[in-house]
Amino acid sequence: MIGTTGHRLGMPWDLTDKTIVVAGGGSVAPGMSIGRASCVTYARLGARVCVLDRDLSSAQETVQLIRDEGGTAYAYQADMAHEEEIVNTFRILSEQHPHLDVLHHNVGIGKTGGPIETSSEDLDRIHAINVKSLMLCCKAVLPSMVERSTGAIISIASVAGLRYLGYPHLAYCTTKAAVIQMTRMIAQQYAPHGIRANTVVPGLIDTPRVAANVSHVFSNDLENAKAARARQVPLQRMGTPWEVANACAFLASDAASYVTGTELLIDGGLTGKYV
């Protein structure tokens, strides 16, 4: 059955026959990260998933989760801090998977502190991983997308790139703001080629990163950290990686065929609270 828009009606989030590359598809600590949840969600919707991570064993763990459910996934190692590794890994990827349909850039690091506490070396390192690597990944996939007149890019930013959330996080906040603007520019430049680019903007999400990197802000008390973050959110809870992954799946799918150059907030109302 064909709908009035010309699209075949059915499962609009079906990702069958799509190859999706997730940069940052592992996890910094045991558990379910946004990148890992996104990889599993893509696979459940029928996609072939290429999982990139600087920690190959973490990428392989994600791949095993997918294969245990009967999905298709492949693990690759690439440190997003090093241009040569990104270039070489995407060269291998393009040889093994000539049609890369979706790039999901799920990379981000930070360091607590304002301008006094942040060294120039810190800023350079965080910018290289959070911003420069996005440009390099796009540089690698866009030519083939242009050639086929189709493709989607999904970048993961943060509400910290939009608002001050109560503690100084200068390098992370400014680089995530840059991710949003870079994605907007890519969307405008490549829209005539049939390529969409959008940013998912998570709020306070309950991931392994909270345990690994955030709890020290609250005197290394993880439960206190989670409770304090939940109190900030109008919905009175942190989000889950799966809730962010669902948004990514929408943007990767044909259901979002008319969505480009925008930001999708997954924040439980947090950003609106600070307007």
Residue 129: DSSP 8-state:
I
Active site residue 164: no
Task: Please calculate the CA angle 172-175-179 and round it to the nearest 5 degrees.
Answer: 130
- Spatial neighbors of 44 by CB under 8 A, at least 6 apart, are 69, 71
Judge contact between 258 and 194, C-beta under 8 A.
no
Q: Which of 74, 76, 172, 190 is catalytic?
A: 172
Angle at 263 between CA 259 and CA 269, to 5 degrees: 125
Distance, in Å, from the CA atom of 204 to the CA atom of 88, rounded to the nearest integer, reads 34
Q: Which two tokens stand for residue 23?
A: 């940069």
Helices (H), the chain: 34-44, 56-68, 83-96, 120-127, 133-148, 170-190, 208-209, 222-232, 241-252, 270-273
Residue with tokens 């499962």: 11
Active site residues: 172
